[in-house]
Structures are given as C-alpha cells and as structure tokens.
Amino acid sequence: MTDINNATVGFDALGLPENLLTALSNMGFASATAIQAQTIPHLLAGKDVLGEAQTGTGKTAAFGLPALAKIDTNLRKPQLMVLAPTRELAIQVAKAIEDFAKNMKGLKVATLYGGQSYGPQFAQLERGAQVVVGTPGRLMDHLRRKSLNLAHLSFCVLDEADEMLNMGFLDDIEWILEHKPDTAQMALFSATMPSSIRKIANRFLKSPEHIKIAAVNKEKANIKQYAWKVSGIHKNTALERIAESFDYDGMIIFVRTRNDTVTVAEHLEGFGYAAAAINGDMNQVQRERTVDQMKSGKLSILVATDVVARGLDIQRIDLVINYDLPGENEAYVHRIGRTGRAGRSGTSIAFVRPREMYSLRHYERLTNGTIESYNLPSIQEIGKARIEKTRVELANLVESKDLASMREIIAAMVTESELDIADLAAALLFQKQMKQPLQPKEDPKPRRERNDSRFDRDSKDRNGRGRDRNDRGQRADRNDHGQRGDRNDRGERAARKPKVARNDVDWQSYRLEVGKEHGARPGDIVGAIANEISLDSSYIGQISLHDRHTIVQLPKGMPKKSFDQLKRVKIRRQSLEISVSDAPVAAMKPRRSERKDRASSMN
C-alpha cells in the first residue's frame, strides 16, 4: 500500500502522451494531485489499482488520463467503461474525459443513465463510442438489450464505489462486472474501504496496487457558505435580488460556459449593474483590462468560467455566486477561494437544483465547513429596501445641494396648476421609479386552464410537465419570468372538489412501467396522473405497486391525447409507458400504508 498526502509532481513527469499533456496545459493544470501522481504510473504500466481517497482529490483525471492513453480511436467499440452512482456524477465524469481528450481525433464518449430516453443513448453507442460512462441500472439495461457490447473492453473503473454500495447497487455492480472480459484492467476508487468494497476488489481486481491518500484536515476559510435551492423563479431573477439586496463590494459569478458569461453579464448590465464577462474567447489584453477595471472599482461584478478565474486574486471580491455548480467538486473550493482573500471575510451562495443537493455534503467535507440554506429576499423586502434607498438618496440631495431654484419651480407649479404639493411630489417620485418600481409586482403564476373534460387539457398549460417530477427546479429555471405555481397547491385545490362515488365509475386497469424498485409510492402515482391530465383524484382508483411496475384503475374511455401524455410522464426518473392491462380489479386491494400515502399526498 502506498500512503501519500502531498504531491508536487508535474503531469509531464508521469509518462502521459503529448496530446493529453497539451489538453491539461490548456485547461490550466500543471501539477498532479497526490492520487493522480501515485495512480497514473501504475495504470499506465497495466496494473489494477484500488484507490482510497476522499471526494474532490482529482480521481477522474487519475483514471481518465491513463485510460485515454491506451485507447485506440480507430477501433469504434467501447474500450473504457466507468460506473458512477448517480447520473450527475456520470455526466461530470463524461464531461471531464471529453475535455481531457480534446486532442484525440475520433474519440467519442457515451453517457448512459436513467431518466433520459434510450434514443440518444442508442445513437451514441451506434456512432462507435470508445468511452462509456453510466449508472448501474442503465448499463444493465443496455447490456440486456445487446445495445452495449463489452467484448473489446480493456479498462473498467468503479468510481465512488462506497456510494454505489450505500445506494444498494452491490448486486448490480457484480452482475455488470461479470460481463466484462477477464483481461480488462480494473480501477476501483472509494472514499472508504468497508468489507463489501474489499469483497469486490478481491473478486474482480488482480493483485491491485492499493493507494491510500489520507484525508487532509483543511483550515476553515473565513467564508460563510450558503445554498439557495432553485425552485419557482429563474436564476437570473435570483441574481437580481441578491445584487440589489446584498451588501457587497465586489462579486464574481461562476457559470458553466463562455456563452453563459456573456448572457448573464448582459442581463445584469441591462438592470444597471456594472458587470462584465471574462472568458477564454477574450485575449490576454482584454482579460487584464477587465481585471484591472474590477480592481479599480469601475466594475463591481465579474461573470466567469472556471478556467479563466484560476489564480484570480482581487481582494475586493467578497461575494461568490455559483450560478452553475462546477463539474469537479474540487473546483468548488477554488471558486469560493476567490473571496475571503488576505484575511478578509467573504460569502458564497450556490444555486443548487433539487437533483444536485447531494453535492453539498461533498463541498462541506472539502471545505471543512457548513453550508447553510439561503432564502432569497421576498418582493416585500425588496420593495422596502428600494423605498429606503430612495429616501436616503433624496435626503442626501436635500443636505448637499442648493435646492432654492427647485423650490421656486415647485411653488410656481403648485400655484399655476392648483395641484397639491403632495400630489406633485408623488408624480415626480412615480416618474423617478419608472425603470425600477419601488413596489415590485408579485411573481406571476402560470394561468390554469379551465376544462370540463376529465382528461383533456390545453397543451399550452402543460408547459413541459411530462418530464421527471424531481427536476421541477430545472423546469422552473427555464421560465424567464416569475414563479411557477406549486403542484402541491394545485393538488389541494383539486382535493377540495366534491368526491365521486367510486362504485359509480366504470374502471379500466392500466399498467405503468414504474414500481417499488424505482422508489415509487402510491402518492407519486396519484400526483403525477392528477396533475398531468387534470384528473380529479376521485377518478383514480385502486393502486397496486409491484417491484418494476404498477397497476392502477382509471376511468374507461381515456382520450388518446391524455393516454399519449401519460406515456411521456416520468416518476422517479422512470417513464410511465402506460398500457391497458388485463389484471383483475379484485386483485388490487391497496395496503393500509398505500392508502395512507395516497391520502397524505393530496393533503
């Protein structure tokens, strides 16, 4: 076992090919982390590796770089497979590998995870992806469908193995690994090494090098960390409220792409903020000029990507906004480190979608800190702040300016027009606040269409709800204005309608391709159907949950439009794929716990 905590080794000393070194240099990486310095030489030498290191130590490059070095881009078959516990991590790993392989002509990466339709994934595999990154469940599905063939696999990686085991994937992992060639090189990475991980290592790894990177106790930075859960309003609206209400000197906003830097900066400029983008499309002179403007106070907000912000040292930055979460967990530490410089205090606020909440515990571990929940200022609070700001501005004018001539003009206006002086002052104040109202309107809610049909609904009212119900934050983020109504609120309104007698309904059994193994509950079934096709819960009959499917009673004669809508609905990231079932009604007596779940879901 190798145990090392620090490494100052350059990537050029690890034996990597020139095309990968060039990509790393362009990404701003010069020195390898401890896990990278210890792992890469062993993997390049063809040895299996059992890596024990905490999250955020750079494991993706540790296995991705040596694996890429061995890939034959002329062979359009899967040669590297990476198993990840979540779709977010799978996407993150795939993106990192694509970045490392920018100079490898012909290399293709397929990302396979649940919650996405099979069509795009089939296309990625058919195009000849040499790298496959996926979650256990979806990898198993592709192996069963024969759309994924591992005959030419030469490298297999288990990333965050302990996390996969905590999520109950042990049997799935073993089943997948049984389908790989015995000759495939293996790398297993885990933050901890319980007996179950060692069991997998002993079975599937051949005389592995055990590399252990001891956890580093980091000194707490003087940075207060917050997370705002993205829901209801657009992230740009959240930025406006923070910029208006937060007492900051300088702010840096991190986004994912170069185009986003321009879009977000222009949005803030339109609201009167001194904001500018800084990205890789700008030459060095332009970047330096922008940084100098930020240092001198001509700018108060920078919108940046990770690469250009590396090493950025502007002491007046005291607020960091993670508009998009970083691809690598360790990048979060670099980002928030742009504030709290030179012993000063700082604040960071991360915009986190519901499906990204799991990342927070990794960030807390990496920073040895706590991330608290952040509540955006309400419309009422914004209004009070604007009124107070205006009062202070006017009071300062009264104290600092000679307003004698203005008083004469006001007096003449009052005399000539017989206006009340208070009305005249109110009119002037109204004119002043035309661009930014002192009393902003409430966020508009989506209009709910009235329809007498139990199933039919105007397609415009759907607004894309036929997606994963766990992604509400992401869908709301696509609405450029205002707040979306809460589904639970709509459920309450529906529940208050007079109930029908179930014996009076002519029921039909339907099969849904989602069940207990996907984490579905009866309340999820009721909520999804009721909200998707505006069906009162009284018209949803008995529900019988099975391991991988559900039988539910709905009224006979469902319109084709409603039937097609339900086919596309997802529960727990699983498409319903509704179909008519011959299952007998008598066999579908809901358990007491199911009835309780259904009742609570509508309350």
**Which of 160, 177, 212 is the C-terminal boundary of a domain?**
212
Distance CA 34, CA 2 (A): 11
Distance CA 299, CA 119 (A): 46
pLDDT at 557: 75
Q: Which of 278, 311, 280, 308 is nearest to 294 (CA)?
A: 278
pLDDT class of 359 with cuts at 50, 70, 90: confident
510 exposure class (CB count in 10 Å sphere: 0-12, 13-18, 19+): buried
pLDDT, tens digit (0-9, with 9 covering 90-100), for 276-334: 999 877 876 787 789 889 989 999 999 998 766 665 778 889 999 999 998 777 778 88
Write out the two tokens for 56. Answer: 């955020």
First to last CA, the chain: 56
Side-chain half-sphere exposure of 351, counting CA atoms within 13 A = 24
Distance CA 448, CA 460 (A): 10
Q: What is the DSSP string of 482-518?
A: S-PPPHHHHHHHHHTSPPPPGGGS-EEEEEES--GGG
User: In terms of DSSP H, where are the helices of 271-420?
Assistant: 284-296, 306-309, 329-336, 359-367, 379-400, 404-417
Same domain for 107 and 201, yes or no, is: yes
pLDDT at 217: 47
pLDDT at 465: 37
Given a cut of 60, is residue 503 above it in pLDDT? no
The dihedral of CA 424, 426, 427, 431: what is its sign? positive
pLDDT class of 80 with cuts at 50, 70, 90: very high
* Residue 159 amino acid letter: D
Distance CA 561, CA 343 (A): 62
Same domain for 242 and 263, yes or no, is: yes
Answer yes or no: is 491 within a domain: yes
Answer yes or no: is 441 within a domain: no
pLDDT class of 449 with cuts at 50, 70, 90: very low
Same domain for 199 and 253, yes or no, is: no
Same domain for 408 and 465, yes or no, is: no
Answer yes or no: is 156 within a domain: yes
Answer yes or no: is 154 within a domain: yes
Report the range out of 128-137, 254-263, 342-351, 495-504 with the highest average pLDDT.
128-137
Q: CB neighbours of 151 closer than 8 A, spacing ≥ 6?
A: 77, 181
**Mean pLDDT, the chain, as a whole number?**
79
Same domain for 387 and 471, yes or no, is: no
Which single residue is written with the structure tokens 């571990």? 365
Answer yes or no: is 571 within a domain: yes
Tally the residues of the chain: 603
Given a cut of 70, is residue 484 above it in pLDDT? no
Rounded to 5°, the CA angle 292-295-300 comes to 110
pLDDT at 489: 38
What is this structure's pTM?
0.46
Given a cut of 80, is residue 592 above it in pLDDT? no
pLDDT class of 149 with cuts at 50, 70, 90: very high
pLDDT at 219: 45
Please list, residue by residue across 449-465, b when 16 or more beta carbons sit within 10 angstroms of its beta carbon and e when fewer do: eeeeebbebeeeebeeb
Distance CA 245, CA 231 (A): 19
Answer yes or no: is 541 within a domain: yes
Q: Among the listed ranges 4-13, 236-245, 350-359, which one has the minimum average pLDDT value?
A: 4-13
pLDDT, tens digit (0-9, with 9 covering 90-100), for 283-297: 767 877 898 899 899
Same domain for 385 and 364, yes or no, is: no
Write out the two tokens for 535. Answer: 């069906």
pLDDT class of 156 with cuts at 50, 70, 90: very high
Percent of the chain past pLDDT 90, that is, above it, reads 32
Q: What is the arithmetic mean of pLDDT over 489-509?
A: 52
pLDDT, tens digit (0-9, with 9 covering 90-100), for 511-539: 888 888 777 888 888 878 877 777 777 77
Same domain for 386 and 346, yes or no, is: no
Distance CA 591, CA 542 (A): 10
Q: From its phi and psi, is residue 276 left (phi > 0), alpha (psi between -120 and 50) or beta?
A: beta
List the beta strands (DSSP E) in 222-360.
223-229, 250-254, 275-278, 301-304, 317-322, 346-352
Answer yes or no: is 453 within a domain: no
Percent of the chain past pLDDT 70, that is, above it, reads 80
Distance CA 132, CA 125 (A): 8
Element (H, E) at 476: helix 472-477
More confident site: 245 or 341: 245
Same domain for 252 and 172, yes or no, is: no
Given a cut of 60, is residue 165 above it in pLDDT? yes
Same domain for 346 and 384, yes or no, is: no
Q: From its phi and psi, is residue 495 left (phi > 0), alpha (psi between -120 and 50) or beta?
A: alpha
pLDDT, tens digit (0-9, with 9 covering 90-100), for 396-423: 888 888 888 888 888 888 888 878 888 8
More confident site: 594 or 351: 351
Same domain for 369 and 389, yes or no, is: no
SS3 state of residue 105: coil
Domain of residue 422 covers 379-432
**Which of 322, 342, 373 is the C-terminal boundary of a domain?**
373
Q: Among the listed ranges 21-30, 32-41, 461-470, which one has the minimum average pLDDT value?
A: 461-470
More confident site: 480 or 69: 69
Write out the two tokens for 527. Answer: 């909520």
Answer yes or no: is 324 within a domain: yes
Same domain for 245 and 192, yes or no, is: no
Given a cut of 90, is residue 184 above it in pLDDT? yes
Same domain for 415 and 548, yes or no, is: no
Given a cut of 70, is residue 145 above it in pLDDT? yes
**Which of 392, 415, 432 is the C-terminal boundary of a domain?**
432
CATH code for the domain in which residue 304 is found: 3.40.50.300
Q: What is the arithmetic mean of pLDDT over 72-83?
A: 96
pLDDT at 133: 96
pLDDT at 10: 85
pLDDT at 597: 42
What's the structural domain count of the chain? 4
3-state DSSP of 407-449: HHHHHHHHHHHCCCHHHHHHHHHHHHCCCCCCCCCCCCCCCCC
